[in-house]
Amino acid sequence: MNVSDLREELDHRLSLHLNDDYGLEESWKKITAILSENVIKTIDYIYNECTDEELFWISEVFSDVSEIVQSKEFVQALRSRFAQVTRETYDQKSFKSDHMRNWVDYDEYVRSVSMEIDYAEGALHE
């Protein structure tokens, strides 16, 4: 997994209009491909490099990645990394995207990311 490619695609994804269905689908496909190419490196990224904001945005494709990689360790890494986001450490004002700064408070963040992790776990065939 190439972290700079992922961050570049996340920047592109954030530049898209929320109603650009085609653009969003294409971006999600690219993010999914990047995260799925090497699950060991992806797990390392999640544990060691993934920011709270990146975790939120990549959560959009957790179930797609999980469907491809079929890794309990991937889902465990998501849960472990997500557990590090607490009300005390959540810094909404520090996020790059206007959407995150203006609309995604801690409660919305928790609701959204935890739901996506549950979907990822549901995508496992075991």
pLDDT for 73 equals: 98
Is residue 68 within 8 A of residue 32, CB to CB? The reply is yes
What CA–CA distance (Å, rounded) separates 16 from 13? 5
pLDDT for 93 equals: 94
pLDDT for 105 equals: 96
pLDDT for 46 equals: 98
The backbone torsions φ and ψ at residue 29, rounded to the nearest 5 degrees and listed phi first, read -60, -45
Written as six digits, the tokens of 42 are: 């992806």
Per-residue confidence band for 16, with pLDDT thresholds at 50, 70 and 90 = very high
What CA–CA distance (Å, rounded) separates 60 from 45? 17
Ordered by start, the domain boundaries in the chain are 3-122
Written as six digits, the tokens of 25 are: 């689908």
State pLDDT tens for residues 74-107.
Answer: 999 999 999 999 999 999 999 999 999 999 999 9
pLDDT for 18 equals: 86
Written as six digits, the tokens of 105 are: 């408070």
- Considering the entire predicted model, what is its pTM? 0.95
State pLDDT tens for residues 31-69.
Answer: 999 999 999 999 999 999 999 999 999 999 999 999 999
Residue 70: which region, alpha, beta or left (left: phi > 0; alpha: psi -120 to 50)?
Answer: left
Helix, strand, coil shares of the chain, percent, nearest 5, are: 75, 0, 25
